[in-house]
Chain A
Amino acid sequence: MCTTCGCGDEAGTRITDVSEGAQGHSHDHPHGHDHPHDREHAQGHAHANGHSHEPKQTRTVLLEQQVLAKNDGLATHNRAWLAEREVLAVNLMSSPGAGKTTLLERTVRELGRNVPVSVIEGDQETLFDAERIRAAGSRVVQINTGQGCHLDAEMVGNALRTLNPPNASVVFIENVGNLVCPALFDLGEDNKVVIMSVTEGADKPLKYPHMFRAADLVLLNKIDLLPYVDFSMERFLGDVAKVNPKVEVLQLSATKGDGMQAWYDRLTSRVTATPFLP
């Protein structure tokens, strides 16, 4: 069974390069969890002092091991890989339908004129989003997680190598639509951005505090619909501040274009703030 999502091998993660010339080329990346467990590795027994001899012929071995150590190690590797290439990676997270892909389409069209942009798309199934992003003019690689509910560092590492982004560029990682699980998994990104739309209701920050706590930036999307929905801006901003007092909230409409410049400014300042960029 797969470590990431519990699915069987047949239904495992697929990474598809949806760029021109590479269309439809899909290959399976099994998660690689069937590596042989090398028992000559001595480090597993380094805490010999933790042994305590119990009457029942069992012994306790102190491990003090972080459960997500493997993911975090791979994330660190991704972070170094990106830094070497002077690439800014942004992890976009939201519930399904908040407007991640629409936001990316416009960002690719508008910011893409000034800064090289490419995209990693995460969805359980289909190449729908990757095709939209490609049509907007960006290089894109689709990760299909099968039954998985989030991206992890291993999937993103594989996708980055397939994507092979140019130096001094921005890579957007569109996570699987889900306000719960993606918050937990470090992908090696520079920033986590949470997108929420006014149609979802103002109560989400308190209902999904982990996601909002993890955010470096919150984008409130679909503000053009504010006259038609019952959404208390005051409550929303107050609740975001309760969960994550330092985070900035930008209000925008990815369909109409309102407020998008502030988002581009944040990205551009992040790109130019990185010392390695010209």
Chain B
Amino acid sequence: MHELSVTQSVVDAVIDKMGDAKVTSVLLEIGKLSGIEPDSVRFCFEIVAGGTTLEGAKLEIVELPGEGTCRTCGEMLEFDDRIVLCSCGSADVEVLAGTELRIRSVEVA
């Protein structure tokens, strides 16, 4: 459900930045630990973009993996969900990346 408000925030932010320019494509970065489902955002985007300067724009989503370091053994880890377990057995992992939710760029006509 929150993907709808997140998608609306994407469209609002793009209109804020780009004014009247006709937007033909949007590149979003969504971290795998962000709590946002890319498929839901895709589903909402067409509806939310309708009637705005983003109507018909292509939505491209780059998913970024989770990265962190184990506070117990210092190992660098890559992971795809919130339940992280280091090979040393520790769950005490500092998340360094993967929570992104960012509009990287747009293409305008």
| A interface with B by C-beta (< 8 Å) | 1-6, 33, 37, 39, 41, 44-45, 50, 54, 57-71, 148-150, 152, 180-181, 183-185, 206, 209-210, 213, 241-243, 245-246
Contact = CB atoms under 8 A, between A and B. Distances in A.
B23 to A, nearest CB: 9
B18 A44 contact: yes
B73 interface: no
Interface string B90-109: 01100000000111111111
Contacts of A67: 6, 9-10, 13, 28, 101-103
A61 B44 CA distance: 23
A-B pairs with lowest CB-CB distance, top 3: A209-B82, A44-B17, A181-B2
A39 B10 CA distance: 18
A4 B2 CA distance: 8
Interface residues of B, number: 39
B107 A70 contact: no
Given A61-B18, A245-B91, 5 more contacts: A67-B6, A67-B102, A68-B9, A150-B2, A209-B83
B107 A57 contact: no
Dominant secondary structure of chain B at its interface with chain A: mixed
A230 B20 CA distance: 59
B17 to A, nearest CB: 4
Given A3-B5, A58-B107, A209 B101 contact: no
B105 A63 contact: yes
B102 A66 contact: yes
B24 A58 contact: yes
Contacts of A213: 82
A121 to B, nearest CB: 20
Query: Among B12, B28, B81, which residue has the most Cβ atoms of chain A within 10 A?
Result: B12
B13 A65 contact: yes
A63 B12 contact: no
B54 interface: no
Given A1-B8, A44-B19, A58-B24, A63 B85 contact: no
B39 interface: no
A243 B82 contact: yes
Nearest to B5: A4
B4 interface: yes
